[in-house]
């Protein structure tokens, strides 16, 4: 059992529509110290080539809830542009964005625990879970 007084958080994003990590997804981290407390923005990062955020800010002592905000619309717009360039015969009116332009995941944390929260993403849906 850990003796740390704070929890820690990590994440990664996988694009299940192509079966690859999602690089360049901006992720913002916020925390609060109780269910009725105001959210405190802590900063953010972006996913690397492996779809991982390796430098999310540390959580302050007393954190009970965490929110990860993923900006997925710019990622899917970029993917659409790459796909259109690769497929010159692609229909002109294809959907270029994501149905969910952003994904906000809120979860409870306990001091001393590590929370790895992967986001499995495609243009019309997503799934999250507590990983290891």
Digit-coded pLDDT (tens) for 82-118: 554 444 444 444 455 679 999 999 999 999 999 999 9
Q: What is the pLDDT of residue 1?
A: 46
pTM: predicted TM-score of the whole model, two decimal places: 0.84
Is residue 121 situated within a structural domain?
yes
Distances (CA, A) of 60 to 36, 54, 96, 132: 17, 18, 38, 21
pLDDT for 74-91, tens place per residue?
A: 999 887 655 544 444 444
Is residue 113 situated within a structural domain?
yes
Type and span of the H or E element at 84: helix 73-86
Total structural domains within the chain: 1
**Rg, Å, the chain Cα set:** 17
Among the ranges given (4-8, 45-49, 99-103, 124-128), the one the predictor scored with the smallest mean pLDDT = 4-8
Is residue 2 situated within a structural domain?
no
Task: Residue count of the chain, please give it.
Answer: 132
**Which residue range(s) make up the domain with 54?**
8-128
CATH code for position 110: 2.60.40.180
pLDDT for 28-53, tens place per residue?
A: 999 999 999 999 999 999 999 999 99
């Amino acid at each position: 059992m850990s003796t740390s007084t704070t929890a820690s958080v990590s994440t990664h994003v996988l694009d299940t529509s192509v079966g690859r990590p999602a690089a360049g997804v901006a992720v913002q981290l916020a925390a609060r110290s109780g269910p009725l407390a105001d959210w405190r923005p802590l900063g953010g990062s972006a996913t690397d080539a492996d779809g991982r955020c390796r430098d999310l800010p540390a959580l302050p002592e007393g954190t009970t809830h965490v929110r990860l905000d993923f900006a997925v619309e710019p990622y899917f717009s970029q993917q659409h542009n790459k796909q259109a360039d690769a497929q010159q015969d692609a229909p002109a009116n294809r959907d270029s964005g994501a149905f969910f332009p952003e994904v906000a995941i809120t979860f409870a944390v306990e001091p001393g625990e590590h929370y790895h929260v992967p986001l499995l993403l495609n243009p019309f849906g997503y799934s999250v879970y507590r990983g290891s």
